[in-house]
Structure 1
């Protein structure tokens, strides 16, 4: 038996870091929403008791470093599943991009294997397991739009933002999230107004949302990788309604309402950045597989 599962990317409309916690993680408050750029996973049951990861992307590990592998292993161990699974990952989300591609693959694996292995777990139970794998996995189990707190694993669902285009541009570099957080000085950066963003999303005010985007990690990543700041400036110059780095970067996204302007910005960015995408904001929750 096999199953196909989608794993959509996320962007951060607002990302604040409040403090360094005693457990070494950072206390965050952020707004995440899903976009229509997705990896596709094929899960195929194996009679042999093993986990197999297959991908044509050379940057995707095929062992326990892969978060989808970790998700399958966690379910097998926790629920004494003696069958194996072959997971084929067709990547569309850039790797190490600040778009939660690996976390979304793990979440899709949890949702898919829940169905394939007939485990009968709820979305909340799957999200709890996801928190053991990585901070963004809980959100990716649900998808949609949410306020994430704690280290990112505490999820409060809110309504979807108004639909719009999301243009993504990723330079040919990877950014280490751990390194960005190591270089973050919480008392020396500009903190976004997350509450204001929540109000504008709930009231569906597109202009207010555009004026409230903010990411406390931008300043750190820009210092480490000036080319990310350059992409942000170019996207602004081309006329995006709002521009922000997603997560710890290096992907920069722009929100755009009008089709004609979207095409102009997309074509302008393609001139100097290889990985450029124009997708729609999803913002609605996933249905459990």
Structure 2
């Protein structure tokens, strides 16, 4: 039985600037994202029929057409010159609805994996274009590494990786709707200075202090207002000595940057008691390749 394995890496935002509402109803954004070494494990097994079957160890994840990985496989089925099917086994490690692109990364891994499984021969750029049909974060997740994303997030350009540091992730016990956060942002636009250009300069200089100074997410004040738990986690991380703190995506996950493992552990310990989902990870900044 033919099968392939893919790694579906989570991402964090170093910046997220919302530039305005587009005619298609989405928002124009400029953001810098980078991958971390928290990842789902995707196993893709060729089938003798044309079915797409999703199996997942996480009960909250849909296993039908609502799943982005299902949609990714269905999209690639149209590129095959013969009938193909696949069983997709998803071992979730990335928290669900957390602002870490878990679903998008699973879809991206499915695109890369089915491309190999079915010998389609599509390039990384072709897979990114297909991924843009599935979601704004999928093209970045197809590529991985560190990148500047524009438009809805689908225009992805590689940029220098940040310095290697420890990252403490903390997700409060709640889920956040990205659509709701953007709607609230549109109603009460925050006057926050865009930081993506300055973050690019920080990355080009390889300066961790400048990276930490320019961490910015225009959606954070909206999510914090709706979910005070996010602010409490931020404040706790800062008191514990984090070099930089930011909410990722539309939230609710907050991350802290720590230059040393001992400080990362101190931040982790400070969150005990009021946040169950805490992870100590590294920046992986690894780009995916097509063999």
Structure 1 residue 42: deviation in Å? Answer: 0.5
How big is each residue's C-alpha offset from its partner over 1:199-218, in whole Å with a ceiling of 9 and x where there is no partner? 00111000000000000000
Say if 1:164 and 1:69 are closer, same or farther in 2 by CA, change over 3 A: same
Task: Tell me if 1:152 matches 2:153.
Answer: yes
Structure 1 residue 81: deviation in Å? Answer: 4.4
Structure 1 residue 276: deviation in Å? Answer: 0.2
Report the equivalent of 1:236. Answer: 238
Instruction: Give the distance between the partners of 2:190 and 2:31, measured in 1 at CA.
Output: 19
Instruction: Give the distance between the partners of 2:172 and 2:195, measured in 1 at CA.
Output: 27
Task: Tell me if 1:202 matches 2:199.
Answer: no
Report the equivalent of 1:74. Answer: 75
Report the equivalent of 1:275. Answer: 277
Task: Tell me if 1:252 matches 2:217.
Answer: no
Task: Tell me if 1:130 matches 2:131.
Answer: yes
The count of residues paired between Structure 1 and Structure 2 equals 289
Report the equivalent of 2:119. Answer: 118
Whether the aligned pair in 1 keeps the contact of 2:190 and 2:218 (CA below 8 Å) is no
Instruction: Give the distance between the partners of 2:242 and 2:250, measured in 1 at CA.
Output: 21
Q: Secondary structure at the match of 2:200?
A: helix
Instruction: Give the distance between the partners of 1:121 and 1:93, measured in 2 at CA.
Output: 27
Whether the aligned pair in 2 keeps the contact of 1:192 and 1:212 (CA below 8 Å) is no
Whether the aligned pair in 1 keeps the contact of 2:39 and 2:94 (CA below 8 Å) is yes
* Structure 1 unpaired stretches of 5+: none
Instruction: Give the distance between the partners of 2:203 and 2:84, measured in 1 at CA.
Output: 44
Structure 1 residue 194: deviation in Å? Answer: 1.1
How big is each residue's C-alpha offset from its partner over 1:88-126, in whole Å with a ceiling of 9 and x where there is no partner? 000000000000000000000000111110000100000
Whether the aligned pair in 1 keeps the contact of 2:48 and 2:85 (CA below 8 Å) is yes
Instruction: Give the distance between the partners of 2:4 and 2:29, measured in 1 at CA.
Output: 35
Whether the aligned pair in 2 keeps the contact of 1:192 and 1:213 (CA below 8 Å) is no
How big is each residue's C-alpha offset from its partner over 1:142-193, in whole Å with a ceiling of 9 and x where there is no partner? 0000000000000110111110001000000000000000000374331331
Instruction: Give the distance between the partners of 1:83 and 1:287, measured in 2 at CA.
Output: 23
Report the equivalent of 2:101. Answer: 100
Counterparts of 1:165-176 in structure 2 under 5 Å?
165-176=166-177
Report the equivalent of 1:36. Answer: 37
TM-score, length-normalised on structure 1? 0.98
- Root-mean-square deviation (Å): 1.1
Instruction: Give the distance between the partners of 1:32 and 1:152, measured in 2 at CA.
Output: 10
Instruction: Give the distance between the partners of 2:77 and 2:37, measured in 1 at CA.
Output: 30
Runs of 4+ in structure 1 deviating by more than 6 angstroms, as ranges, are none
Report the equivalent of 2:267. Answer: 265
Task: Tell me if 1:55 matches 2:61.
Answer: no
Report the equivalent of 1:18. Answer: 19
Instruction: Give the distance between the partners of 2:113 and 2:169, measured in 1 at CA.
Output: 27
TM-score, length-normalised on structure 2? 0.97
Task: Tell me if 1:220 matches 2:222.
Answer: yes
